[in-house]
Amino acid sequence: MDIHEYQAKEILAGFGVDVPAGALAYSPEQATYRARELGGDLWVVKAQVHAGGRGKAGGVKVCTTEAEIQNGCEEMFGRKLVTHQTGPEGKGIYRVYVEAGVPIEREIYLGFVLDRSSQRVMIVASAEGGMEIEEISAEKPESIVRATVEPAVGLQDFQCRQIAFKLGIEPAMTQQMVRTLQGCYRAFREHDATMVEINPLVVTGDSRIVALDAKMTFDDNALFRHPQIAELRDKSQEDPRESRAADRGLSYVGLEGNIGCIVNGAGLAMATMDTIKMAGGEPANFLDIGGGATPERVAKAFRLVMSDSNVQAVLVNIFAGINRCDWVAKGVVQALEEVQVDVPVIVRLAGTNVEEGQKILAQSGLPIIRASTLMEAAERAVGAWQNDLSHETNVRVVK
């Protein structure tokens, strides 16, 4: 789960990271009022959307008068901000963060990520701040400083000093850098984050180290341990299909294709998407309905997959190990009686009691296309929409 910049800054500030003074606003009027409260003569108004690259897309405005804040906000509120990270549909701007402007001397890139190959939290930093990390690694890979944290002992101060030295931080400011790095690391660990990114971390004209931007991502599977983080979720920033799935306890990722997938098991779901591609099609989603695959879950899955108007065929791929195919088949039949599905449905069952399962599908009277292997199922799914067989294979159940 992602959170907004202002929320990440509040968390990091709680761990001793220096951030600019700022206040949140829900309207242009409120933004000017907030600026007046903050005082000073330089403000930065920042669109709060779950994506980076706002600066280049008009989502960050440096203002010197109240009129500039008002006009800047009027351009932003209610609009969709399209950055290179949002996709072409963009993300809605419903909140802005007003900050006191900071005199920037130097910009640094700082990131904390989970490095899967070393199974450690890894710190990635570069003196080339302001650029995205992808650009830095393409153009200035030698500038990147890395350090991994040994989980048993945590981040050590000497590691922080080493990073500060490699980034060319002045000796008098080394201690501030240590405090910043330790604060970020603790915020990361204590909230089960998967990423903390500060880009840019700046050295100011008055020798402070300040987080000018902040981004945090959390492990969805650990959110139950952090109710105060879970509350920060902002559904206006999520793919509506994915929000619906998360609310129903299903693991769903929306994609661009037109073959809907309903699968039990994440690995099998990945293999199903690969096989659809091999057969010349494009999956519309990743969906793992979990091991149970009860009729209720299958019905929920059909509703979710069919809510995507691009879907032109649905492939159900269930491997019954602990589960039983006859039981799953009953679930599929029951789901198709409850949910209106007007595209071809291809079902591949394998595992325990597969014959009984096939019999239930055949005897249901529903025009389900059955397949015995995954490849066959994928080919039939691709064939079904390519040849526009939908008029022959429609499953139309109106209740």
**Which residues make up the interface to Mn ion (CB under 5 A)?**
199, 213
- The one catalytic residue in 5, 99, 128, 197 is 197
Residue 52 interacts with ligand GDP (CB under 6 A): yes or no: yes
> Which of 2, 197, 213, 326 touches ligand GDP (CB under 6 A)?
213
Q: Which is nearer to Mn ion, 199 or 272 (CB)?
A: 199
CB of 61 to ligand GDP, least distance (A): 9
Nearest to 98 by CA among 53, 33, 49, 13: 33
Of 6, 97, 109, 252, which residue is the catalytic one? 109
The answer to whether residue 392 is catalytic is no
Q: Please, is 341 exposed, middle or buried when counting C-beta atoms within 10 Å of its C-beta (0-12, 13-18, 19+)?
A: buried
User: Judging by beta carbons within 10 Å of its beta carbon (0-12, 13-18, 19+), is residue 151 exposed, middle or buried?
Assistant: exposed
The answer to the question of residue 44 lying near ligand GDP (CB under 6 A) is yes
Q: Are 189 and 216 in contact (CB under 8 A)?
A: no
Q: CB-wise, 5 or 326, nearer to Mn ion?
A: 5
Phi, psi of 243 (to 5 degrees): -60, -45
Token pair, residue 397, equals 């159940």
Q: Where in 180-199 is the site for ligand GDP (CB under 6 A)?
A: 199
The answer to whether residue 94 is catalytic is: no
Residue nearest to Mn ion (CB): 213
Number of H helices, E strands in the chain: 14, 18
Span interacting with ligand GDP, options 66-74, 100-108, 225-233, 242-250, rule CB under 6 A: 100-108
The β-bridge relationship of strands 369-371 and 345-351 is: parallel
Contact 163, 123 (CB under 8 A): yes
Q: Stretches 7-15, 45-53, 283-291, 377-385: which one binds ligand GDP (CB under 6 A)? A: 45-53
Q: How far is the CB of 356 from ligand GDP (least distance, A)?
A: 56
Torsion of CA 369, 375, 376, 377, to 10 degrees: 0
What is the helix (H) or strand (E) element at residue 240, kind and residue range?
A: helix 240-247
Neighbours of 125 (CB within 10 A): 25
Q: Which of 13, 23, 38, 104 binds ligand GDP (CB under 6 A)?
A: 104
CB of 52 to Mn ion, least distance (A): 5
With CB under 5 to 8 Å by kind, the binding choice for 53 among ligand GDP, Mn ion, none is ligand GDP
- Cα end-to-end span (Å), the chain: 37
Instruction: Output the residue with the shortest Cβ distance to ligand GDP.
Output: 55
**# chain residues binding ligand GDP, by CB under 6 A:** 18
Please list the active-site residues: 109, 197
Binding site for ligand GDP (CB under 6 A): 20, 44, 46, 52-55, 60, 62, 99, 101-102, 104, 130, 199-200, 212-213
